[in-house]
Amino acid sequence: MERLEQRILQDGVVRPGQVLKVDSFLNHQMDIPFLCEIGQEFFRLFRDSGVTKIVTVEASGIGIACLTAQYFHVPVVFAKKSKTLNISGDVYSTEVMSYTHGRTYTVIISKSFLSAGDKVLLIDDFLANGCAMLGLIDLARQAGAEVVGAGIVIEKGFQRGGELIRQAGVRLESLAVIESMEDDGRITFRH
């Protein structure tokens, strides 16, 4: 998505450890009209997939998932990071390694909100090593739901996530794919 690439070049800041900060429009301050354009693009890509639920993981995916859901007219379910060690039987749960925080979380979704027969579109802000997305795929499959696709705002194409999601048999649509990021701030895209 051309306008997204321009926005990343204009506002993105490359941090050590191959982390891209896009706090001015996506991850801290949110540019709602612009993020609605992103939501519309996900709708264009997945409108014929029969989506019944949009699923993301807290916290950074929630905003973009909501702005996307308004075009599909379906609910958003966000996987919660659980602090409880003894997970009760009324939730699906899986382990996710956080790229930005360098630790593992248990994430859960209540069995009330995801079930067989659901057609799930996964949405997240970034795809890096794929742990967050693979965790969501695991939760959806525990529920017997069908994952019709994964919509990512920014994929870091030099990390393994994209390959792993495709290997899992999930259609992946990333609106911008970064080919490389240099410490001096230079960013190139894959087309």
Instruction: Evaluate the CA torsion angle 2, 32, 173, 99 in order and state its sign.
Output: positive
Which of 7, 8, 12, 20 lies at the binding interface for ligand 5GP (CB under 6 A)?
20
Q: Smaller CB distance to ligand 5GP: residue 20 or 77?
A: 20
* Alpha-carbon distances, residue 95 vs 35, 100, 106, 112, 164 (angstroms): 29, 15, 5, 20, 16
- Report yes or no: 55 and 77 within 8 Å, Cβ to Cβ: yes
Q: Which of residues 60-119 bind ligand 5GP (CB under 6 A)?
A: 60-61, 99-100
Closest CB to ligand 5GP among residues 63, 130 = 130
Site for ligand 5GP, residues 162 to 191, rule: CB under 6 A: none
Q: Residue 96 carries which side chain, given as an amino acid letter?
A: V
Q: Is 140 in the site for ligand 5GP (CB under 6 A)?
A: no
CB 2 within 8 A of CB 174: no
Helix axis angle for 62-72 and 32-46, nearest 10°, is 60
* From candidates 12, 149, 151, 161, binder to ligand 5GP by CB under 6 A: 161
In this chain, which stretch among 19-27, 30-38, 86-94, 115-123 interacts with ligand 5GP, using CB under 6 A? 19-27
Rule CB under 6 A: say whether 131 interacts with ligand 5GP.
yes
CB atoms inside a 10 Å sphere around CB 62: 16
Nearer to ligand 5GP (CB atom), residue 14 or residue 36: 14
Given the rule CB under 6 A, which residues bind ligand 5GP? 19-21, 27, 60-61, 99-100, 124-132, 156, 161
